[in-house]
A and B are shown apart, each in its own frame.
Chain A
């Protein structure tokens, strides 16, 4: 079945780059997502990538996809204290009619 794995914690200094990694098992995944959840808040879609892409950049965010290794990463440049949150990787298999499966989340702490 589908499985999405992430490391649970990451700590970086303000101004450094953060890299959050994710691995997934379903080779038929077509959409891969990064969501952000701030304390006490709902889930916010940060960015997504289609499986036929290997990179997507959106301002400070860079998503890299290695489909062969089923590895997804999110790089946040110039990390700020406001980036402290839990980041969830998620994948949707097959078509848009398939369910979305989430990883356990990576808690990012930014040290001033």
Chain B
């Protein structure tokens, strides 16, 4: 069956522009996560959606970052006024219970 997909796979943007990253979770998965992975670093938790509960936004690094999820489907992560330190791979994962399934990530480069 289809796994988690993310788009675009690569995004190059100029400093100060806004970007939107998309995640399509596995159908039926109630939980959806966004992580950031800087080059050579670990996974940094950003935000977590679980069903209809209020999202856990405790990992968002600044108010330039926001995310939305429509029901139990697609999620978009928006970064406003991008900065060079936002350059990273943004990973999305979905799960139904204890096992997370990761997408391939979006590599964001801010020039």
Contacts and interface: CB of A to CB of B under 8 A. Distances in A.
Contacts of B100: 45, 100
Nearest to B53: A97
A53 interface: no
Interface in B29-74: 31, 33, 35, 41-43, 45, 48, 50-51, 53, 56
Interface residues of A, number: 16
A42 B103 contact: yes
B105 interface: yes
A48 B98 contact: yes
A12 interface: no
Instruction: Point out which of A31, A42, A101 has the most chain B C-beta atoms below 10 A from its C-beta.
Output: A42
Given A42-B105, A97-B53, A100-B33, A48 B43 contact: no
B35 to A, nearest CB: 7
A42 B99 CA distance: 15
A45 B91 CA distance: 14
Interface of A: 31, 42-43, 45, 48, 88, 92, 96-97, 99-105
Interface of B: 31, 33, 35, 41-43, 45, 48, 50-51, 53, 56, 91, 93, 95, 97-100, 102-105
8 contacts: A96-B97, A97-B51, A100-B100, A101-B45, A102-B42, A103-B42, A105-B42, A105-B43
